[in-house]
């Protein structure tokens, strides 16, 4: 699968997850409206839509999830052979990239060479004591 197709399918996976999340918000709003209607018949007491959906933050979250999906599709493109696998990688992009970023080997490469584990450790300095050179 070429890079552009992998990126597209990865973004599609992120979009699918965001649609499911949005549906959950709509279903919660619907259930709250039904509960309110069963308690009283006054329509002015129904929960408002904007209590459950915040367009600016939800749009930004959707854009981020789609971007993460596209990035995961691009990053894992050499290992992916099918469209369904690429959509799955895009859908699970936040978790995959979190796992990938927390790998010890990757952290060591990014951080550069650390202290030599074979070097003897210096004894701790007691509080208030100044060492002279």
Q: Note down the domain range covering 38.
A: 3-111
Position 126 in a domain: no
- Residues 70, 10 contacting (CB under 8 angstroms): yes
pTM above 0.85, yes or no: no
Which pLDDT does position 55 carry in this prediction? 93
Position 99 in a domain: yes
Is the pLDDT assigned to residue 8 strictly greater than 90? yes
Of 21-25, 55-59, 64-68, 79-83, give the lowest mean pLDDT range: 79-83
- Residues 70, 11 contacting (CB under 8 angstroms): yes
Position 118 in a domain: no
Position 92 in a domain: yes
Position 127 in a domain: no
Question: How many domains is the chain partitioned into structurally?
Answer: 1
The average pLDDT across 65-75 equals: 93
> Which tokens belong to 104?
């010890």
- What Cα–Cα distance (Å) separates residue 69 from each residue in 10, 16, 28, 81, 82? 5, 10, 26, 16, 15
Buried-state track 51-79, b at ≥16 Cβ within 10 A, e below 16: ebeeeeeeeeebeebbebbbbbbebbbee
- What Cα–Cα distance (Å) separates residue 57 from each residue in 54, 61, 110? 6, 6, 31
> Which tokens belong to 72?
């995961």
Position 116 in a domain: no
50 versus 108: the higher-pLDDT residue is 50
Position 121 in a domain: no
The SS3 of residue 76 is coil
How confident is the model over 37-52, as pLDDT tens digits?
Answer: 888 776 667 888 989 9
Which pLDDT does position 112 carry in this prediction? 66
Position 122 in a domain: no
How confident is the model over 73-98, as pLDDT tens digits?
Answer: 998 888 888 999 999 999 998 888 77
46 versus 57: the higher-pLDDT residue is 57
* Confidence category of residue 2, pLDDT binned at 50, 70, 90: confident
């Amino acid at each position: 699968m070429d890079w552009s197709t992998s990126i597209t399918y990865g973004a599609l996976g992120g979009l699918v997850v965001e649609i499911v999340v949005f549906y959950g918000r709509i279903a919660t709003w619907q259930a709250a409206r039904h509960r309110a209607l069963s308690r009283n018949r006054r329509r002015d007491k129904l929960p408002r839509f904007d209590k459950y959906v915040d367009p600016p933050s939800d749009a930004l979250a959707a854009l981020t999830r789609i971007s993460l999906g596209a990035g995961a599709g691009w990053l894992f493109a050499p290992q992916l052979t099918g469209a369904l696998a690429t959509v799955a990688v895009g859908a699970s992009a936040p978790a995959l990239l979190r796992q990938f970023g927390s790998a010890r080997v990757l952290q060591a490469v990014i951080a550069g060479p650390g202290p030599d584990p074979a070097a003897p450790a210096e004894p701790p300095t007691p509080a208030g004591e100044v060492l002279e050179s």
